[in-house]
C-alpha cells in the first residue's frame, strides 16, 4: 500500500514522523511538506497545486489551512488515491462543514473520505474501505494489552497506536502504576506527550478536542485492565 502524508507544519509533521517510522515495511510511506503560502480566499485553487505530488493509494491530509483542505479533490486527480483520511483535530484547520462538502465531492469520484474527530477515534466501524482497514491494523483508536504483577502494571503492549505516536509514550511511562490509578494516569500522560488536538471548547461534542482524544487512551487502558481482572 502506498501512503502519502501531506502536511504543512509541526501538527502534521508528528504524524508523518510516527507513521513513516513505524508503518509495516511492505508499505511505501511518503511525506509531502506543503510549503506554499496560500491566501484565505483563492479564485483558482489549481494555481496552488504542488508540481510533484507522488502517486498513492491512501492520502492522509493533515494540513493546517482550510483552503488547502479544499484542494484535496484536486490532489486526488493528480495522485490517484482511492481513499482519504483528513482528521479534525482543530476546527481552524478543518471544519466539520467543509469536511462534509469534500466528502460529497469525493464520493462522486468513488473515493472514500473520512474525517474522524479526532484522528485517534478512527475505527473499523467507520468504513469498509480495504485501504483504510489496512491502515487501521496499525494506527487509529488506541488498543493495548496490559500485564499486571502484584496489582501494578508490569508490561503494556501497543496493539494499535494513535497516529501521532501518543500511545507508545503512554505505554512506556505507565509501567509501575497501580492498576487502580492506571486509567487516570494514562489520561495525564496523554496530555504530557503532548496531544496534537486543540484545547478550544468544541460545541459539536461539548468538550475540548484534546480531552476527547485523551478519552480514547483512557478507554483503551480501562478495557485492558478490566480484561485482566475478569
Residues 17 and 113 both lie in one domain:
yes
Q: Which of 38-42, 130-134, 170-174 has the lowest mean pLDDT?
A: 38-42
Residues 92 and 112 both lie in one domain:
yes
Residue 88 CA to residue 79 CA, distance in Å, equals: 22
Residues 117 and 79 both lie in one domain:
yes
Q: Is 167 left (phi over 0), alpha (psi -120 to 50) or beta?
A: alpha
CATH number (domain holding residue 22): 3.40.50.720
Residues 20 and 123 both lie in one domain:
yes
Q: 2 pairs with which residues across the strands? A: 28
The widest CA-to-CA distance across the chain, in whole angstroms, is 64
Q: Report, as an integer, the average pLDDT of 173-177.
A: 97
Residue 81 CA to residue 56 CA, distance in Å, equals: 5
Residues 7 and 120 both lie in one domain:
yes
Q: How many distinct structural domains can be found in the chain?
A: 2
Q: 62 pairs with which residues across the strands? A: 7
Residues 128 and 14 both lie in one domain:
yes
Among 88, 108, 135, the domain boundary falls at 135
Look over the chain and give the mean of its residue pLDDT values, rounded to a whole number.
95
Q: In the structure, what pLDDT confidence band is assigned to residue 228 with cuts at 50, 70 and 90? A: low
C-alpha cell at 169: 509514550
Assign 9 to helix, strand or coil.
coil
Look up the domain containing 207 and give its range: 143-229
Residues 131 and 148 both lie in one domain:
no
Confidence (pLDDT) at 217:
97
CATH number (domain holding residue 222): 3.30.390
CA dihedral 172, 191, 115, 82 (to 10 degrees): -30
CB 12 within 8 A of CB 64: yes
Residues 121 and 178 both lie in one domain:
no
Residues 129 and 167 both lie in one domain:
no
Residue 72 CA to residue 61 CA, distance in Å, equals: 8
C-alpha cell at 173: 511511562
Among 101, 135, 169, the domain boundary falls at 135
pTM over 0.75, yes/no: yes
- 24-75 pLDDT per residue, tens: 999 999 999 999 888 888 889 989 998 889 999 999 999 999 999 999 999 9
Q: In the structure, what pLDDT confidence band is assigned to residue 229 with cuts at 50, 70 and 90? A: low
Residues 128 and 178 both lie in one domain:
no
Say which residues have a Cβ less than 8 Å from residue 114's Cβ, sequence separation at least 6. Answer: 83, 84, 85, 86, 122, 126, 127, 132
Residues 149 and 216 both lie in one domain:
yes
Phi, psi of 47, deg, nearest 5: -65, -20
Assign 83 to helix, strand or coil.
strand
Say which residues have a Cβ less than 8 Å from residue 101's Cβ, sequence separation at least 6. Answer: none
- Percent of the chain whose predicted confidence (pLDDT) is above 70: 99
| Alpha carbons within 13 A on the beta-carbon side of 50 | 20
Among 114, 135, 156, the domain boundary falls at 135
CB 214 within 8 A of CB 195: yes
Residues 176 and 77 both lie in one domain:
no
Q: Report, as an integer, the average pLDDT of 121-135.
A: 98
Amino acid at each position: 500500500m502506498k501512503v502519502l502524508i501531506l502536511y504543512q507544519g509541526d501538527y502534521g509533521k508528528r504524524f508523518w514522523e510516527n507513521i513513516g517510522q513505524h508503518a509495516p515495511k511492505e508499505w511505501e510511506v511518503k511525506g509531502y511538506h506543503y510549503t506554499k503560502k496560500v491566501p484565505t480566499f483563492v479564485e483558482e485553487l489549481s494555481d496552488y497545486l504542488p508540481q510533484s505530488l507522488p502517486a498513492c493509494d491512501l492520502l492522509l491530509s493533515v494540513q493546517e489551512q482550510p483552503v488547502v483542505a479544499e484542494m484535496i479533490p484536486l490532489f486526488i486527480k493528480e495522485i490517484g488515491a482511492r481513499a482519504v483520511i483528513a482528521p479534525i483535530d482543530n476546527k481552524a484547520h478543518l471544519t466539520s462543514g467543509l469536511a462534509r462538502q469534500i466528502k460529497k465531492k469525493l464520493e462522486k469520484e468513488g473515493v472514500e473520505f473520512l474525517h474522524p474527530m479526532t484522528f485517534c477515534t478512527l475505527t473499523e466501524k467507520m468504513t469498509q474501505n480495504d485501504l483504510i482497514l489496512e491502515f487501521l491494523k496499525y494506527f487509529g483508536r488506541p488498543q493495548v494489552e496490559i500485564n499486571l504483577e502484584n496489582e501494578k502494571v508490569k508490561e503494556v503492549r501497543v496493539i494499535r497506536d494513535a497516529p501521532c505516536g501518543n500511545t507508545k509514550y503512554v505505554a512506556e511511562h505507565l509501567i509501575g502504576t497501580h492498576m487502580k490509578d492506571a486509567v487516570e494516569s494514562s489520561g495525564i500522560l496523554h496530555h504530557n506527550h503532548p496531544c496534537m488536538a486543540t484545547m478550544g471548547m468544541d460545541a459539536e461534542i461539548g468538550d475540548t478536542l484534546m480531552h476527547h482524544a485523551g478519552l480514547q487512551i483512557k478507554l483503551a487502558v480501562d478495557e485492558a485492565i478490566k480484561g485482566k481482572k475478569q
